[in-house]
Amino acid sequence: MQKETLMCDRNFEKILLEAVDEGLSSLGDSPKYAVYFYLKKEFKLDKRDIPQKIEEFTDAIERIFGLGAKFLEILIIKRLYEKVGHEFEYNQEITDLIFTEYVDATKKSFEKTVKQKVVQ
């Protein structure tokens, strides 16, 4: 069981990193690499550490982009949902989007799906 959990965590981390990368790619390649560089230099946050430090990543993105961070967070969440087989519907009337809560809920859903597949 411990091995399954570790494997599930690593798979989700990979999926989350892909979603972050694709979300940042919406800015263009040069800006994306600049963001990764800035995250590492100013926030001591390496790209590979983002899944374990999602709150620090969120804080850094919000400090870098201000209100524009919500746009990136929505793109990342949308990509993340697609990668785990869910559909993301964003309601513009909901302004209290909490990125880390969406990531956590997606991870739990992903883990549940993986466990169901293992049982079958």
Domains of the chain from N-terminus onward: 2-119 (1.10.1200.200)
Residues 6+ apart with CB under 8 A from 19: 76, 77, 79, 80, 83
CA gap 29, 27 in Å, rounded: 7
Confidence at residue 18, expressed as pLDDT on a 0 to 100 scale: 95
Q: Left (φ > 0), alpha (ψ -120 to 50) or beta: where does 45 sit?
A: beta
Q: Report pLDDT for 1.
A: 46
What pLDDT sits at residue 102?
86
- Structure confidence at residue 84 (pLDDT): 86
Residues of the chain with pLDDT under 70: 1-9, 88-97, 117-120
Residue 87 CA to residue 79 CA, distance in Å, equals 9
Q: What is the DSSP letter of 93?
A: T
pTM score over 0.85: no
Task: Of 89, 88, 90, 113, give the one whose Cα is nearest residue 12.
Answer: 113
Q: Which pLDDT does position 118 carry in this prediction?
A: 61
